[in-house]
């Protein structure tokens, strides 16, 4: 479960691997130590990052303001900080998502 860890402040940190310009937004299983996300947005001017944040917020039923990009702004591998949810709750929601 290295893709989901507890941050220093207790908020869950989710590691994702992003495939931009996909045919649809979806979780596509695991990619190494990360959850693979397929995102329709291109990796131009932060469009893919914004789409990732919106998709994860919707998937975890969180307000957009509670999902932030912790690291990996220019990389396909990103760490997302999820506020307002526990590590156990995040894992339970992730386990229910189709992969």
Reading the block at residue 29, the tokens are: 């299983």
**pLDDT at residue 98, rounded to an integer:** 77
Summarised one tens digit per residue, pLDDT across range 28-55 is 999 999 999 999 999 999 999 999 999 9
In which region does residue 40 sit, left (phi positive, over 0), alpha (psi from -120 to 50) or beta (all else)? alpha
For the chain, domains (ranges, CATH) are 4-96 (3.30.1200.10)
Q: Over 90: is that where the pLDDT of 99 sits?
A: no
Q: What is the pTM of this model?
A: 0.94
Rounded to an integer, the average pLDDT of 16-33 is: 95
Backbone angles phi, psi at 8, to 5 degrees: -60, -30
Q: Rg of the chain's alpha carbons, rounded to an integer?
A: 12
Q: Over 80: is that where the pLDDT of 26 sits?
A: yes
Rounded to an integer, the average pLDDT of 6-29 is: 95
Summarised one tens digit per residue, pLDDT across range 43-91 is 999 999 999 999 999 999 999 999 999 999 999 999 999 999 999 999 9
Q: How many residues does the chain have?
A: 99
């Amino acid at each position: 479960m290295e893709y989901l860890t507890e941050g220093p402040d207790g908020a869950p940190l989710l590691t994702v691997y992003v495939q931009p310009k996909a045919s649809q937004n979806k979780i596509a299983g695991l990619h190494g130590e990360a959850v693979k996300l397929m995102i329709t947005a291109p990796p131009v001017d932060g469009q893919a990052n914004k789409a990732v944040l919106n998709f994860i917020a919707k998937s975890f039923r969180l307000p957009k303001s509670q999902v932030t990009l912790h690291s990996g702004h220019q990389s396909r591998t990103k760490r997302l900080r999820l506020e307002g949810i526990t590590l156990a709750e995040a894992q339970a929601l992730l386990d229910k998502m189709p992969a």
